[in-house]
Amino acid sequence: MPLITISRGIGSGGMVVARLVSEDLKVELFDDNRLHQEAGKMGIRAEEVKGLDEKAPVFFDHLLRSRSEIYLNYMEALIYEVAKKGEGVIIGHGSQLLLRDFECALHVHIYADDSTRIRNLMHQRRISQEAAKKLIHRSDHEQGGFFRFAFHMDWNNPSLYDLIINTGQIGLDLTAEIIMHAARSDRMKTCSLAAVGAMERLRLKKRAHAALLDRGSIFLK
């Protein structure tokens, strides 16, 4: 079973789709809560992962530059840690870019037009149309800003994805079915021992880099 990364905008139904896919394929869903658990297992301090949700550059502006680099290296190490399991559904956090060179990873972007997203948020959160619009604007700004800050790329770049699906047109159930069909296709490869080994080396590299930066920042205090 391949790895699946899912990138989505708020209100697009991407999280619902991710849960449907993980449940049907019987693989783990690595959302924010699950990633925090994995970080704890890796011995990463709570303060280093408390901002694991994708934030705009203003989040990093409150940190020293060295602290933001430490954060990003820990985050990348964490993605490689869960990816080396060889299967699972990973939500965001740059996983579509960090794993793009691995043929065993399927990268999906869940899209919906603004009217669909607004309607979904109004229903889900019991908020007004204006509040939903503001929430979408803020969330898109934060996600886009995070991706540009961390990877110097636009997270909407279609070259990062194997599938881009419009849930407003296709619907959540059919979107999940399309992803599962692609994941089960003979064209998708199981992660080889070489791929898993490469992920482990990348994990160690990022973890070591974070530790060195962390040690240096302590001496500077």
* pTM value surpassing 0.85: yes
Bigger pLDDT: 46 vs 180:
180
What single string gives the DSSP state of each residue in 18-53?
Answer: HHHHHHHHT--EE-HHHHHHHHHHTT--HHHHTT-S
Cα separation, 129 vs 105, whole angstroms: 37
| Sheet order of strands, 88-91 included | 29-30, 88-91, 3-8, 105-111, 163-166
Q: Where are the domains of the chain?
A: 3-220
The pLDDT tens digits of the residues spanning 13-69 come to: 999 999 999 999 999 999 988 888 888 888 776 666 655 555 544 444 544 455 677
Check if CATH label 3.40.50.300 holds for domain 3-220: yes
Round to the nearest angstrom and report the end-to-end CA distance of the chain.
Answer: 47
As given in the structure block, the two tokens for residue 10 are 């708020």
Cα separation, 166 vs 169, whole angstroms: 6
